[in-house]
Structure formats: structure tokens, C-alpha cells
Structure 1
């Protein structure tokens, strides 16, 4: 699921589209938030498996 968030974030930054056309600053912000959230989810899975 984390990888999916990262892919969607990259897509939003690249295409500047999410349900409708987005201004560049909004697409970069939304894409960055999704990428960071995807990395966070992957980190949580990795951290829990290490225990």
C-alpha cells in the first residue's frame, strides 16, 4: 500500500492531475505529502517486522 501511495504521488506531480487539473504548486504539495506518507507506511511495516 505504501508503494501505491508513492506511485500516486509521483503521478500527481508529473501529470498535475487528481480528479481535475491542478495548479503546479498544489500538485507538488499533494504529491509530496503522498510520497512522504507512502515512505512512512513502508517504514512502519519494516520496523514492525524487525521486532
Structure 2
């Protein structure tokens, strides 16, 4: 069984790429994988196995 997490990425004035990379890496450490990044709404959908 899978579980999902949806988060909204908030762009700032500087270091956007670095902050996004840090955020993605932090979720990856928790077992989440990016399923989809919505281009215009800045939503990121993550997926992982529920019984991990």
C-alpha cells in the first residue's frame, strides 16, 4: 500500500534551487519519492510505501 504527501513549494527571493534541493533531500531521507511537481501551482506530490 502507498501513502502520499502533498506540499506547496514557496519560492523566495534567493537560493530557490538550493532550498528546493534541501527540501527534496529531507523528504527523501524519510523515504518519500517525488511523484509529481506541478509547474504552475508549485505543488509537490510525494509517495512512499506505507508499510516500510
- For Structure 1 versus Structure 2, the TM-score category normalised by the shorter chain is 0.3 to 0.5
Give the structure with the higher percent helix: 1
TM-score by length of 2: 0.39
Give the structure with the higher percent strand: 2
With CA pairs under 8 Å and 6+ residues apart, which has the higher RCO, 1 or 2? 2
